[in-house]
Homo-oligomer: A and B are copies of this chain.
Amino acid sequence: MFRALADPTRRQILQDLRGGELSAGEIASRFSIKGPSVSRHLSILKGAGLVRERRDANRILYTLVEDRLALCVGGFLSTVCPEQVVLRRRQSRRAAGTPT
């Protein structure tokens, strides 16, 4: 997870996804590196659980998984500097349909 955040391109991808779902191609077009490199970055982010992918016809759309980022990184921050960071607890976005 922290490994996934170590690369600036990946952090930028996460920020770009802040505006909503984007296709691999749209993401790639924002960087100077070639498609395959972006694709691997996306698969690393996916492996870390930071993005989710969904097929839409021809394209593959990526979405930010905010909860995961907030819980993991925020959790770490809360451990090391609990006075300065507050993790705001929040219902899971899918809580409605979740069996629990």
- A-side residues, CB < 8 A to B, are 2-3, 5-6, 11, 14-15, 18, 64, 66-67, 69-70, 73-74, 76-77, 79-81, 83-88, 90
A80 contact set on B, CB distance < 8 A: 14-15, 18, 64, 66, 69
Q: Which of B2, B14, B76, B84 contacts A87 (CB 8 A)?
A: B84
Given known contacts A3-B6, A6-B2, A6-B6, is B76 in contact with A11 (CB within 8 Å)?
yes
State the oligomeric state as a number of copies.
2
- Chain A binding site: helix, strand, loop or mixed by DSSP? helix
Contact A73 B70 (CB under 8 A): no
**Cβ contacts under 8 Å, A74 to chain B:** 77, 84-85
Output the residue of A2, A64, A74, A81 with the most chain B CB within 10 A: A81
Residue among B2, B64, B77 making CB contact with A77, cutoff 8 Å: B77
